[in-house]
Amino acid sequence: MNQTTKSCVIVGSGISGIAAAIRMRNKGYVVSVFEANAFPGGKLSTESNAGYRFDMGPSVLTMPEYVDELFVLSGKNPREYFNYIPLDPVYRYFFEDGTIVDGHHGKENYAMKMSEKMSDSKEAIVKYLNKTEEMYNLTEEVFLQNSLHKFKNFMTKRALKGILNFGKIGAFDTMNTANQKAFKDPRLVQILNRYSTYNGSSPYLAPATLNVISHLEIDKGAFYPIGGMRSITDSLVKLAKEIGVTFHFSTPVREILTENKKVKGVRTDNGNFNFDVVISNMDVYNSYLKLLPNAKKPEKTLNQPKSSSGIIFYWGIKHSFSQLGLHNILFSKNYEEEFDSIFSKKTVYNDPTIYVNITSKHTKSDAPAGCENWFAFINVPNNSGQNWDELVNQAREAMINKINRLLKTDIRSMIECELVLEPRSIEERTSSAFGAIYGNASNNKFAAFMRHPNFSKEIKGLYFCGGSVHPGPSIPLCLLSAKITSGLVS
């Protein structure tokens, strides 16, 4: 570990903020983290109620090597802190026509199992997955591993290869258009279209480039962290503390202090604190709105359309469902209407696609014996002044009715406890502007270039990391955001 007398403050302890703290400490900085909540993790946190434990946010782990990398960087064995198992199958999909199909790990396995239930051939599915892998390889260095806002990063051999093959990355088709060209079966198209929701976008608007997300999950694999998703946060906080990072919980930052276009530190309710470097892990929109009142704002970037949000019911279910796995999707009958409701009509669809995550399938202690902890999520618009009390009640009824219909059950009497998050409480809990979980939406071909850079062009010593800035949302991208950001700091 290098040593320096310089100091760095991280505003917010989301997964990217914790990772940035670890990386900055390994650069030799004296690092402090200020967190408004009484707990770390941001969206990647946990709550318990009536004997049930719930992961409150992200529930799918891909590319765990980016978590491991932080331990290796710090001279630690990741397996002494954090462990995970591969999932196969990853998802179980339910359709209104009675079709139930599993999404397996690995191109050949996935294609074989899908072709048994769908009208498309195994060969067509493998061909599609090979194409998404090619797209990933062409875009990885340009879009994921480096800042898009430093010219030198476009001059590497791999970056130039990606640029010269821009026509092969699907930028000029929507996800849905590309998927309809590839497959005849509308159910398979729907399964692949759903990857747009991983960054809060619509498959009918977002570029087909985002089909690379399926490659990460299907080919590279999805994993379950032993003990649940909260174990990622817990293990990284433990590591950060061991290497000397200081955490200040229940300590919201009120302002990022600047002078002569250079950061000075931060102001909290406990006073002013001087730092050489400030990294904001708060949503970039709220970073400018709340913490940088006098700074010149990048209006064009901040005013980009925001992503979708969610309504999540955390249900303690007094029953065990053998037909459900860890990750389950109950699809709406009309996907295009659902996304039109979210992004055009700004309301909750009357037949929403429901994602049900049940960690007690793997971690038995997450629910009482014979019971299950359900994380039941639907995509909804971000908050633009809707009557959310009414919409949440409508959503609850629609979800219960759909679950009862597809699973041939009646869960209403089985709900033993309930916690709820919706766009207003998501913003309050995580500072996500308008409750938009994923920052800006990716509903145009230039969306990747419109994300805020990982540094300020106006204020020296000010940096940003997390899902609302480059390269985007999801656990691996947030970890890469921290890597890019810390790499920019001298």
In this predicted model, what pLDDT tens digit does every residue of 14-33 receive, in sequence order? 999 999 999 999 999 999 99
How confident is the model over 283-301, as pLDDT tens digits? 999 999 999 999 999 998 8
Q: How confident is residue 144, by pLDDT bands cut at 50, 70 and 90? A: confident
Residues, the chain: 490
Q: What percent of the chain has pLDDT over 70?
A: 94
Alpha-carbon dihedral 297, 299, 302, 305, rounded to 10 degrees: 170
How confident is the model over 181-227, as pLDDT tens digits? 999 999 999 999 999 999 999 999 999 999 999 999 999 999 999 99
| pLDDT for residue 151 is more than 50 | no
The per-residue DSSP string of 420-471 comes to EE-HHHHHHHH--GGG-TTSB---STTHHHHSBPSB-SSSBTEEE-STTBTT
H or E element in which residue 379 lies: strand 372-380
Q: DSSP character for 216?
A: I
Domain 7-47+61-79+231-303+451-488 has CATH 3.30.499.10: no
Query: Mean pLDDT, the chain, as a whole number?
Result: 94
Q: How far apart are CA 478 and CA 451, in angstroms?
A: 13
SS3 331: coil
How many CA atoms lie within 13 Å of 52's alpha carbon, on the beta-carbon side?
26
> Tokens standing for 414?
């089985």
The predicted structure's pLDDT at residue 350: 97
Q: How far apart are CA 377 and CA 198, in angstroms?
A: 13
- Report, as an integer, the average pLDDT of 397-424: 98
H or E element in which residue 9 lies: strand 7-11
- Report, as an integer, the average pLDDT of 424-432: 97
Whether 348 and 394 have beta carbons less than 8 Å apart is answered as yes
The predicted structure's pLDDT at residue 12: 98
Q: How far apart are CA 162 and CA 173, in angstroms?
A: 17
CATH tag for 308-430 (out of 3.30.519, 3.40.50, 3.30.420, 2.60.60):
3.30.519
How confident is the model over 113-140, as pLDDT tens digits? 999 999 999 999 999 999 999 999 888 7
| pLDDT for residue 150 is more than 70 | no
How many CA atoms lie within 13 Å of 211's alpha carbon, on the beta-carbon side?
32
| pLDDT for residue 164 is more than 70 | no
Q: Domain ranges in the chain?
A: 7-47+61-79+231-303+451-488, 88-220, 308-430
Label residue 389 exposed, middle or buried (CB < 10 Å: 0-12, 13-18, 19+): exposed
How confident is the model over 32-84, as pLDDT tens digits? 999 999 999 999 999 999 999 999 999 999 999 999 999 999 999 999 999 99
Q: What percent of the chain has pLDDT over 90?
A: 89
Q: How far apart are CA 142 and CA 293, in angstroms?
A: 32
Phi, psi of 360 (to 5 degrees): -65, -10
